Amino acid sequence: MDLSDVQLGIQHVSYYLFSLLYPYGLLSNENLTKGLVMRSIVVMALLMSLASLSVVAKEIYITIGSDAVSSSQKSMKSLSTIKMNSDISVLKVNEKEIPYLSKHMHDKFNRCGGFIVHESKEEALRVLADHQTRKSAKSTNFFNYTITKGETVRNMVSQVSEFGIRDMILKLSQFHNRYYKAQTGVDSQAFVKATWEKIMASRTDAKVEYFKHSAWPQPSVIATLEGTDHPEEVIVIGGHADSIAGFFGRSRARAPGADDNASGISTITEIMRVLADANYKPKRTIQFMAYAAEEVGLLGSKEIANKYKSEGKNVVGVVQLDMTNHKGSKNLDIVFMTDFTNQAQTKFMGSLIDTYVDGVSWGYSKCGYGCSDHASWHNAGYPASMPFESTMQDINGHIHTKNDTIDVAGSGGTADHAEKFARLGIAFAVEMGK
């Protein structure tokens, strides 16, 4: 249960008792000596005390786009600025107000999240101060990008199954929600892990495991296909596996999250299946990741990216697949986010579309700070790209509601749009993994 749920429950019971006692004069002086009334008042006082104690949630520190600070503080007066620059700001916020901030970022900026939660003030300030890491992650050419595996890639992309992607979207959507604190969020990740294990079952060079997080129950899932020649060089293809609907009582809310982000996890699953069925043996290690807790501040991916950085892992490329099955923009199929991403790798991915994904148009847009898990890798200094299903202006209006299903307009009950991303992902994996 969320802290906010406990607070509301205590307060509602307290107010209910008061409403029962007051109209009948039971709170008058002459009745205060009556045992029944006294017991009721004691209960009410205890509940009110608990309510006042329960609202003391811990203060946490976040980084957020500086463009969102002013409007956020107007909506939530308790937000305090610790430090800021032209791009990113560090704010202190009461943990119980995170749902309000999430709603504000969604309504005002069309950002899913739009901020990153940090373990400490010091960690948040380090992110703000590390201009050089972010500059390098954006402008450095980390890899010798070439397109040379034409026949191999074309044979593989022809094997992509729209039905397979659609079936996985539907199965993930059947969970009541995939909220990071709910049991269904844990169960849905167990399903992802079992599905990936089945795909990789015949591979002696593969493994699927949980990446467990100490602060919440939902784990991330990581499948590893080990490289033959350069296993220390890692390619990451990831997306978030959690879902939310509404902004309060999320642990109980119905959140099918078909587009956000069952579509991304299903696309990743199909990429993995095609590579496994082709018995593809990459020279570099490829890791497929289903992140926990993206919707509440990129928590899962931040832990993983920071751990990889602290261990000195050589991640040569990251792709984030977050929402792939809603064709929202009339003239564009795939839209690359240009902020907090690597320019050279993103340009390379555009070339992959032109070479291998026939009939698909692509372009550019911006999504702001912390809009998805690629920002975690970017902040850690790794090259990341985010191909998206539309421009942010044309974003799927059903996300974060019970109506985020595969049947809405823009998806139309099929995975046709997501299929394009699967083809792109296969091309990326093979051309990077060679």
Positions marked catalytic = 240, 260, 294-295, 322, 400
Distance CA 407, CA 255 (A): 14
Q: How many residues does the chain have?
A: 434
Tokens found for residue 261? 């982000």
Rounded to an integer, what is the distance from CA 346 to the centroid of its chain?
20
Phi, psi of 24 (to 5 degrees): -100, 15
Positions of E strands within 243-283:
none
CB 108 within 8 A of CB 68: yes
CB 76 within 8 A of CB 100: yes
CA atoms within 13 A on the CB side of 355: 21
CA atoms within 13 A on the CB side of 237: 29
Nearest in space to 8 (alpha carbons), one of 47, 59, 44: 47
Sorted by sequence, the CB contacts under 8 Å of residue 128 that are 6+ apart come out as: 63, 83, 84, 85, 88, 89, 90
- Tell me which DSSP letter residue 349 carries: H
Tokens found for residue 98? 């995170």
* Residue with the two structure tokens 């202190």: 92
Nearest in space to 263 (alpha carbons), one of 134, 389, 76: 389
Q: Where are the alpha helices (DSSP H) in 22-85?
A: 35-54, 69-75
Distance CA 335, CA 326 (A): 12
Please return the burial class of 24, using the count of CB atoms within 10 Å of its CB with bins 0-12, 13-18 and 19+: exposed
